[in-house]
Structure 1
Protein backbone atom coordinates (compact mmCIF):
# COMPACT_ATOMS: atom_id res chain seq x y z
CA UNK A 1 0.00 0.00 0.00
CA UNK A 2 1.42 3.39 -1.01
CA UNK A 3 1.98 6.22 1.47
CA UNK A 4 -0.76 8.28 -0.22
CA UNK A 5 -3.30 5.49 0.23
CA UNK A 6 -2.28 4.99 3.86
CA UNK A 7 -2.79 8.69 4.58
CA UNK A 8 -6.20 8.66 2.88
CA UNK A 9 -7.32 5.66 4.93
CA UNK A 10 -6.11 7.25 8.16
CA UNK A 11 -8.04 10.48 7.61
CA UNK A 12 -11.55 10.62 9.13
CA UNK A 13 -14.40 10.19 6.65
CA UNK A 14 -16.28 13.31 5.64
CA UNK A 15 -20.07 13.03 5.77
CA UNK A 16 -22.37 15.37 3.87
CA UNK A 17 -25.27 16.33 6.14
CA UNK A 18 -28.13 18.38 4.71
CA UNK A 19 -31.10 20.13 6.30
CA UNK A 20 -34.00 18.97 4.11
CA UNK A 21 -36.45 21.50 5.59
CA UNK A 22 -34.49 24.79 5.66
CA UNK A 23 -36.23 27.94 6.85
CA UNK A 24 -36.99 29.57 3.52
CA UNK A 25 -40.00 31.13 1.85
CA UNK A 26 -40.47 28.02 -0.29
CA UNK A 27 -43.15 25.83 1.35
CA UNK A 28 -42.54 22.09 1.68
CA UNK A 29 -45.03 19.88 -0.17
CA UNK A 30 -45.81 16.30 0.63
CA UNK A 31 -46.10 13.67 -2.14
CA UNK A 32 -49.89 13.70 -1.74
CA UNK A 33 -50.45 17.45 -1.43
CA UNK A 34 -52.37 17.39 -4.72
CA UNK A 35 -55.09 15.30 -3.04
CA UNK A 36 -55.87 18.03 -0.51
CA UNK A 37 -58.92 19.23 -2.39
CA UNK A 38 -60.46 15.77 -2.09
CA UNK A 39 -60.42 16.00 1.69
CA UNK A 40 -63.02 18.79 1.65
CA UNK A 41 -65.67 16.52 0.17
CA UNK A 42 -68.45 15.18 2.45
CA UNK A 43 -67.52 11.99 4.31
CA UNK A 44 -69.46 9.30 6.16
CA UNK A 45 -70.44 10.00 9.76
CA UNK A 46 -69.56 6.47 10.88
CA UNK A 47 -66.80 5.38 8.50
CA UNK A 48 -65.61 1.82 8.40
CA UNK A 49 -62.24 3.05 7.15
CA UNK A 50 -60.43 6.35 7.54
CA UNK A 51 -57.41 7.22 5.40
CA UNK A 52 -55.03 10.16 5.64
CA UNK A 53 -51.42 11.12 5.00
CA UNK A 54 -49.20 11.78 8.00
CA UNK A 55 -47.16 14.16 5.90
CA UNK A 56 -43.65 15.61 6.15
CA UNK A 57 -42.36 13.33 8.89
CA UNK A 58 -38.74 12.55 9.68
CA UNK A 59 -37.61 9.25 8.13
CA UNK A 60 -34.10 8.13 9.10
CA UNK A 61 -32.67 4.79 7.99
CA UNK A 62 -30.29 3.45 10.61
CA UNK A 63 -27.88 0.58 9.89
CA UNK A 64 -25.48 -1.19 12.20
CA UNK A 65 -24.64 -4.39 14.05
CA UNK A 66 -27.63 -5.53 16.10
CA UNK A 67 -25.32 -7.71 18.17
CA UNK A 68 -23.10 -4.82 19.23
CA UNK A 69 -23.78 -3.58 22.75
CA UNK A 70 -22.06 -0.27 21.94
CA UNK A 71 -24.29 0.27 18.92
CA UNK A 72 -27.44 -0.49 20.92
CA UNK A 73 -26.36 1.86 23.72
CA UNK A 74 -25.60 4.63 21.24
CA UNK A 75 -28.99 4.32 19.57
CA UNK A 76 -30.81 4.41 22.89
CA UNK A 77 -28.76 7.37 24.12
CA UNK A 78 -29.60 9.38 21.00
CA UNK A 79 -33.25 8.41 20.56
CA UNK A 80 -34.44 7.29 23.99
CA UNK A 81 -35.58 4.05 22.33
CA UNK A 82 -34.14 0.59 22.79
CA UNK A 83 -33.18 -1.23 19.62
CA UNK A 84 -36.23 -3.34 18.68
CA UNK A 85 -35.92 -7.01 17.85
CA UNK A 86 -37.07 -8.71 14.67
CA UNK A 87 -40.45 -7.49 13.33
CA UNK A 88 -40.96 -5.21 16.33
CA UNK A 89 -41.23 -1.48 16.97
CA UNK A 90 -40.55 0.70 20.00
CA UNK A 91 -42.29 4.05 20.39
CA UNK A 92 -41.98 6.98 22.76
CA UNK A 93 -44.05 10.08 22.16
CA UNK A 94 -43.84 11.06 18.48
CA UNK A 95 -40.73 8.96 17.80
CA UNK A 96 -40.88 5.34 16.64
CA UNK A 97 -38.04 2.94 15.85
CA UNK A 98 -39.04 0.01 13.64
CA UNK A 99 -37.10 -3.13 12.67
CA UNK A 100 -36.74 -3.36 8.88
CA UNK A 101 -33.96 -5.93 8.35
CA UNK A 102 -31.37 -7.76 10.51
CA UNK A 103 -29.06 -4.73 10.30
CA UNK A 104 -31.52 -1.93 9.50
CA UNK A 105 -34.14 0.11 11.37
CA UNK A 106 -36.43 3.01 10.44
CA UNK A 107 -36.69 5.95 12.82
CA UNK A 108 -39.69 8.24 12.29
CA UNK A 109 -40.70 11.38 14.13
CA UNK A 110 -41.51 15.09 13.84
CA UNK A 111 -40.52 16.50 10.47
CA UNK A 112 -38.71 19.55 11.81
CA UNK A 113 -36.33 17.49 13.96
CA UNK A 114 -34.63 15.38 11.30
CA UNK A 115 -31.32 17.21 11.33
CA UNK A 116 -31.14 17.42 15.12
CA UNK A 117 -31.81 13.68 15.49
CA UNK A 118 -29.30 12.78 12.79
CA UNK A 119 -26.62 14.87 14.51
CA UNK A 120 -27.48 13.28 17.87
CA UNK A 121 -27.09 9.78 16.40
CA UNK A 122 -23.75 10.66 14.84
CA UNK A 123 -22.51 12.01 18.16
CA UNK A 124 -23.51 8.88 20.08
CA UNK A 125 -22.53 6.22 17.54
CA UNK A 126 -19.04 5.09 16.63
CA UNK A 127 -17.46 2.49 14.41
CA UNK A 128 -19.25 0.92 11.45
CA UNK A 129 -22.77 2.36 11.07
CA UNK A 130 -24.90 4.45 8.71
CA UNK A 131 -27.56 7.13 9.22
CA UNK A 132 -29.44 8.12 6.05
CA UNK A 133 -32.13 10.79 5.84
CA UNK A 134 -34.95 9.37 3.69
CA UNK A 135 -37.50 12.04 4.62
CA UNK A 136 -37.74 13.43 1.08
CA UNK A 137 -38.11 10.01 -0.51
CA UNK A 138 -40.87 8.48 1.61
CA UNK A 139 -44.20 9.37 3.13
CA UNK A 140 -46.48 7.88 5.76
CA UNK A 141 -50.13 6.89 5.35
CA UNK A 142 -52.53 6.02 8.16
CA UNK A 143 -55.37 3.58 7.80
CA UNK A 144 -57.80 3.22 10.69
CA UNK A 145 -61.28 1.99 11.52
CA UNK A 146 -63.05 -1.32 12.12
CA UNK A 147 -62.68 -2.33 8.45
CA UNK A 148 -59.06 -1.20 7.97
CA UNK A 149 -57.73 -4.74 8.32
CA UNK A 150 -60.09 -5.93 5.57
CA UNK A 151 -58.61 -3.33 3.23
CA UNK A 152 -55.12 -4.65 3.95
CA UNK A 153 -56.31 -8.22 3.40
CA UNK A 154 -57.35 -7.19 -0.11
CA UNK A 155 -54.15 -5.27 -0.74
CA UNK A 156 -51.22 -7.38 0.47
CA UNK A 157 -50.31 -11.10 0.67
CA UNK A 158 -49.02 -10.91 4.26
CA UNK A 159 -51.26 -12.43 6.94
CA UNK A 160 -52.65 -9.47 8.94
CA UNK A 161 -54.97 -11.53 11.15
CA UNK A 162 -54.95 -10.59 14.84
CA UNK A 163 -53.22 -13.80 15.91
CA UNK A 164 -50.39 -13.26 13.41
CA UNK A 165 -50.09 -9.47 13.34
CA UNK A 166 -50.51 -8.07 16.88
CA UNK A 167 -50.21 -4.42 17.87
CA UNK A 168 -46.58 -3.34 17.71
CA UNK A 169 -45.55 -5.67 14.88
CA UNK A 170 -43.98 -4.24 11.72
CA UNK A 171 -43.22 -5.86 8.34
CA UNK A 172 -42.12 -4.75 4.90
CA UNK A 173 -44.20 -6.46 2.26
CA UNK A 174 -45.89 -6.17 -1.10
CA UNK A 175 -48.80 -3.74 -1.22
CA UNK A 176 -50.86 -3.89 -4.42
CA UNK A 177 -48.08 -3.72 -7.07
CA UNK A 178 -45.80 -1.68 -4.84
CA UNK A 179 -44.22 -2.10 -1.40
CA UNK A 180 -44.85 -0.74 2.07
CA UNK A 181 -43.53 -1.01 5.60
CA UNK A 182 -46.67 -1.73 7.61
CA UNK A 183 -46.89 -1.22 11.37
CA UNK A 184 -49.88 -1.98 13.54
CA UNK A 185 -50.22 1.04 15.80
CA UNK A 186 -53.46 0.04 17.53
CA UNK A 187 -56.29 -2.48 17.36
CA UNK A 188 -57.86 -0.60 14.44
CA UNK A 189 -54.97 1.64 13.47
CA UNK A 190 -52.26 0.92 10.88
CA UNK A 191 -49.29 2.90 9.58
CA UNK A 192 -47.92 2.45 6.06
CA UNK A 193 -44.58 3.90 4.94
CA UNK A 194 -44.30 4.04 1.14
CA UNK A 195 -41.85 5.42 -1.37
CA UNK A 196 -42.56 8.90 -2.65
CA UNK A 197 -42.70 7.79 -6.29
CA UNK A 198 -45.43 5.24 -5.49
CA UNK A 199 -47.39 7.37 -3.00
CA UNK A 200 -50.04 8.53 -5.47
CA UNK A 201 -50.58 4.98 -6.76
CA UNK A 202 -50.88 3.51 -3.26
CA UNK A 203 -53.25 6.30 -2.18
CA UNK A 204 -55.55 5.70 -5.15
CA UNK A 205 -55.43 1.94 -4.59
CA UNK A 206 -56.43 2.27 -0.93
CA UNK A 207 -59.20 4.74 -1.78
CA UNK A 208 -60.64 2.29 -4.31
CA UNK A 209 -60.23 -0.72 -2.00
CA UNK A 210 -61.98 1.13 0.85
CA UNK A 211 -65.08 2.31 -1.00
CA UNK A 212 -67.28 -0.59 0.12
CA UNK A 213 -66.46 0.09 3.78
CA UNK A 214 -67.72 3.72 3.99
CA UNK A 215 -64.42 5.47 3.44
CA UNK A 216 -63.68 8.81 5.10
CA UNK A 217 -60.65 10.83 4.01
CA UNK A 218 -58.70 13.05 6.36
CA UNK A 219 -57.35 12.96 9.89
CA UNK A 220 -60.03 12.23 12.54
CA UNK A 221 -61.01 15.27 14.58
Structure 2
Protein backbone atom coordinates (compact mmCIF):
# COMPACT_ATOMS: atom_id res chain seq x y z
CA UNK A 1 0.00 0.00 0.00
CA UNK A 2 1.28 3.43 -0.95
CA UNK A 3 -1.14 6.29 -0.50
CA UNK A 4 -4.42 5.03 -1.91
CA UNK A 5 -2.69 2.54 -4.20
CA UNK A 6 -2.43 -1.20 -3.63
CA UNK A 7 -0.20 -3.61 -5.56
CA UNK A 8 -0.88 -7.34 -5.11
CA UNK A 9 0.13 -10.62 -6.65
CA UNK A 10 -2.71 -12.58 -8.22
CA UNK A 11 -3.03 -16.35 -8.21
CA UNK A 12 -4.39 -16.45 -11.74
CA UNK A 13 -4.92 -20.18 -11.86
CA UNK A 14 -4.37 -21.85 -15.18
CA UNK A 15 -3.09 -19.68 -18.04
CA UNK A 16 -3.46 -21.24 -21.48
CA UNK A 17 -2.47 -19.63 -24.76
CA UNK A 18 -4.92 -20.24 -27.58
CA UNK A 19 -3.93 -19.86 -31.22
CA UNK A 20 -6.87 -20.72 -33.49
CA UNK A 21 -6.28 -22.78 -36.59
CA UNK A 22 -6.98 -20.96 -39.86
CA UNK A 23 -10.69 -20.27 -40.21
CA UNK A 24 -11.56 -21.70 -36.77
CA UNK A 25 -12.02 -18.53 -34.67
CA UNK A 26 -15.83 -18.70 -34.77
CA UNK A 27 -15.94 -22.40 -33.85
CA UNK A 28 -13.36 -21.81 -31.10
CA UNK A 29 -15.43 -18.92 -29.75
CA UNK A 30 -18.53 -21.15 -29.71
CA UNK A 31 -16.72 -23.85 -27.69
CA UNK A 32 -15.31 -21.21 -25.32
CA UNK A 33 -18.79 -19.76 -24.82
CA UNK A 34 -20.38 -23.15 -24.15
CA UNK A 35 -17.62 -24.41 -21.83
CA UNK A 36 -16.37 -21.28 -20.08
CA UNK A 37 -19.04 -18.62 -20.64
CA UNK A 38 -16.83 -16.29 -22.66
CA UNK A 39 -16.20 -15.52 -26.30
CA UNK A 40 -13.02 -15.07 -28.30
CA UNK A 41 -11.81 -11.51 -27.58
CA UNK A 42 -11.60 -8.81 -30.21
CA UNK A 43 -8.16 -7.17 -30.68
CA UNK A 44 -7.30 -5.06 -27.65
CA UNK A 45 -10.18 -6.45 -25.59
CA UNK A 46 -11.02 -9.03 -22.91
CA UNK A 47 -14.07 -11.21 -22.36
CA UNK A 48 -15.35 -13.01 -19.29
CA UNK A 49 -14.89 -12.14 -15.65
CA UNK A 50 -12.95 -13.00 -12.52
CA UNK A 51 -13.44 -16.79 -12.71
CA UNK A 52 -12.70 -17.15 -16.43
CA UNK A 53 -11.22 -14.48 -18.65
CA UNK A 54 -9.97 -14.43 -22.25
CA UNK A 55 -7.41 -11.71 -22.98
CA UNK A 56 -6.37 -10.71 -26.48
CA UNK A 57 -2.64 -11.35 -26.57
CA UNK A 58 -1.63 -10.54 -30.12
CA UNK A 59 -2.65 -11.34 -33.64
CA UNK A 60 -4.68 -14.56 -33.61
CA UNK A 61 -3.72 -15.31 -30.00
CA UNK A 62 -5.47 -15.05 -26.67
CA UNK A 63 -4.86 -16.20 -23.13
CA UNK A 64 -7.52 -18.17 -21.30
CA UNK A 65 -7.03 -17.35 -17.62
CA UNK A 66 -8.63 -19.29 -14.79
CA UNK A 67 -10.19 -22.56 -15.85
CA UNK A 68 -8.62 -25.69 -17.24
CA UNK A 69 -9.41 -25.63 -20.96
CA UNK A 70 -11.97 -28.17 -22.13
CA UNK A 71 -10.69 -30.76 -24.59
CA UNK A 72 -12.92 -29.41 -27.38
CA UNK A 73 -10.76 -26.30 -27.65
CA UNK A 74 -7.87 -28.37 -29.05
CA UNK A 75 -9.98 -29.23 -32.10
CA UNK A 76 -9.97 -25.56 -33.12
CA UNK A 77 -6.73 -24.12 -31.73
CA UNK A 78 -3.20 -24.88 -30.64
CA UNK A 79 -3.09 -24.78 -26.83
CA UNK A 80 -0.07 -24.20 -24.63
CA UNK A 81 0.02 -24.13 -20.84
CA UNK A 82 1.60 -20.80 -19.82
CA UNK A 83 0.78 -21.00 -16.10
CA UNK A 84 4.40 -20.98 -14.94
CA UNK A 85 5.51 -18.37 -17.47
CA UNK A 86 3.70 -15.26 -16.23
CA UNK A 87 3.61 -13.15 -13.08
CA UNK A 88 0.20 -11.49 -12.65
CA UNK A 89 -0.29 -8.38 -10.51
CA UNK A 90 -3.25 -6.17 -9.73
CA UNK A 91 -2.84 -2.44 -9.18
CA UNK A 92 -5.79 -0.78 -7.47
CA UNK A 93 -6.55 2.84 -6.71
CA UNK A 94 -7.70 6.11 -8.19
CA UNK A 95 -4.22 7.01 -9.45
CA UNK A 96 -3.37 3.53 -10.79
CA UNK A 97 -3.51 4.79 -14.38
CA UNK A 98 -1.02 7.53 -13.51
CA UNK A 99 1.36 4.93 -12.08
CA UNK A 100 1.18 2.80 -15.21
CA UNK A 101 1.55 5.85 -17.45
CA UNK A 102 5.01 6.34 -15.93
CA UNK A 103 5.98 2.83 -17.02
CA UNK A 104 4.42 2.27 -20.44
CA UNK A 105 3.87 4.22 -23.66
CA UNK A 106 0.08 3.83 -23.79
CA UNK A 107 -2.66 6.41 -23.54
CA UNK A 108 -4.32 5.08 -20.39
CA UNK A 109 -6.87 7.85 -19.89
CA UNK A 110 -10.32 6.54 -18.99
CA UNK A 111 -11.78 8.03 -22.18
CA UNK A 112 -9.36 5.97 -24.30
CA UNK A 113 -8.43 2.84 -22.35
CA UNK A 114 -11.71 1.73 -20.79
CA UNK A 115 -12.50 -1.26 -18.59
CA UNK A 116 -12.27 -4.34 -20.80
CA UNK A 117 -9.35 -2.95 -22.82
CA UNK A 118 -5.98 -4.70 -22.92
CA UNK A 119 -2.64 -4.20 -24.68
CA UNK A 120 0.68 -5.92 -25.08
CA UNK A 121 3.23 -3.24 -24.35
CA UNK A 122 6.56 -2.33 -22.85
CA UNK A 123 6.50 -1.87 -19.06
CA UNK A 124 9.63 0.04 -18.05
CA UNK A 125 12.24 -2.17 -19.73
CA UNK A 126 10.11 -5.36 -19.92
CA UNK A 127 7.64 -6.83 -22.36
CA UNK A 128 4.25 -7.28 -20.77
CA UNK A 129 0.51 -6.87 -20.83
CA UNK A 130 -1.72 -4.19 -19.27
CA UNK A 131 -5.46 -4.75 -18.88
CA UNK A 132 -8.06 -2.49 -17.33
CA UNK A 133 -10.32 -4.77 -15.31
CA UNK A 134 -12.44 -1.98 -13.77
CA UNK A 135 -12.26 1.80 -13.43
CA UNK A 136 -9.65 1.67 -10.65
CA UNK A 137 -8.35 -1.91 -11.11
CA UNK A 138 -5.60 -2.90 -13.53
CA UNK A 139 -4.00 -6.24 -14.29
CA UNK A 140 -0.32 -6.28 -15.25
CA UNK A 141 1.50 -9.34 -16.57
CA UNK A 142 5.20 -9.89 -17.26
CA UNK A 143 7.36 -12.95 -17.67
CA UNK A 144 7.84 -14.53 -14.25
CA UNK A 145 11.59 -13.89 -14.40
CA UNK A 146 10.81 -10.15 -14.51
CA UNK A 147 8.45 -10.10 -11.51
CA UNK A 148 10.93 -8.61 -9.00
CA UNK A 149 12.07 -5.77 -11.33
CA UNK A 150 8.42 -5.02 -12.17
CA UNK A 151 7.44 -4.81 -8.50
CA UNK A 152 10.41 -2.51 -7.83
CA UNK A 153 9.53 -0.23 -10.76
CA UNK A 154 5.84 -0.16 -9.85
CA UNK A 155 6.51 0.61 -6.19
CA UNK A 156 8.83 3.45 -7.21
CA UNK A 157 6.17 4.86 -9.55
CA UNK A 158 3.51 4.45 -6.84
CA UNK A 159 5.60 6.44 -4.34
CA UNK A 160 6.21 9.20 -6.89
CA UNK A 161 2.55 9.49 -7.84
CA UNK A 162 1.50 9.47 -4.17
CA UNK A 163 4.09 12.15 -3.33
CA UNK A 164 2.89 14.29 -6.21
CA UNK A 165 -0.69 14.14 -4.96
CA UNK A 166 0.35 14.91 -1.36
CA UNK A 167 2.29 17.97 -2.52
CA UNK A 168 -0.83 19.30 -4.29
CA UNK A 169 -2.89 19.34 -1.10
TM range (shorter): 0.7 to 0.9
> Is 1:162 matched up with 2:119?
no
Partner in structure 2 of residue 98 of structure 1: 55
Runs of 4+ in 1 over 4 A off after TM superposition: none
Q: CA deviation at 1:66?
A: 7.7
Within 5 Å, give how 1:97-116 maps onto structure 2: 97-109=54-66, 113=67
In the alignment, which of 124, 127, 139 is matched to residue 176 of structure 1? 124
Partner in structure 2 of residue 211 of structure 1: 159
Gaps of 5+ in 2: 164-169
Q: CA deviation at 1:199?
A: 0.7
Report if the CA contact (8 A) 2:39-2:48 is conserved: no
In 1, distance between residues paired with 2:49 and 2:155?
30
Q: Which has the larger radius of gyration?
A: 1
Q: TM-score, normalised by structure 1?
A: 0.67
In 2, distance between residues paired with 1:50 and 1:148?
9
Q: CA deviation at 1:183?
A: 0.7
Question: Any idea what the Cα deviations from partners look like across 1:45-82, whole Å, max 9, x if unmatched?
Answer: xx331111113532111110485332221222232211
Report if the CA contact (8 A) 1:182-1:190 is conserved: yes
Q: TM-score, normalised by structure 2?
A: 0.86
Report if the CA contact (8 A) 1:62-1:132 is conserved: yes
In 1, distance between residues paired with 2:50 and 2:32?
16
**Structure 2 vs 1, CA of residues 94 and 191 (structure 1 numbering), >3 Å: closer, same or farther?**
same
In 2, distance between residues paired with 1:153 and 1:66?
36
**What SS is found at the alignment partner of 1:85?**
coil
Report if the CA contact (8 A) 2:21-2:78 is conserved: no
In 2, distance between residues paired with 1:71 and 1:55?
26
In 2, distance between residues paired with 1:66 and 1:141?
33
More strand per residue = 2
Report if the CA contact (8 A) 1:78-1:124 is conserved: no
Within 5 Å, give how 1:1-221 maps onto structure 2: 47-55=3-11, 57-65=13-21, 67-68=23-24, 69-109=26-66, 113=67, 117-118=68-69, 120=70, 122-127=71-76, 129-214=77-162
Report the count of equivalent residues: 162
In 1, distance between residues paired with 2:72 and 2:139?
30
Gaps of 5+ in 1: 1-42, 216-221
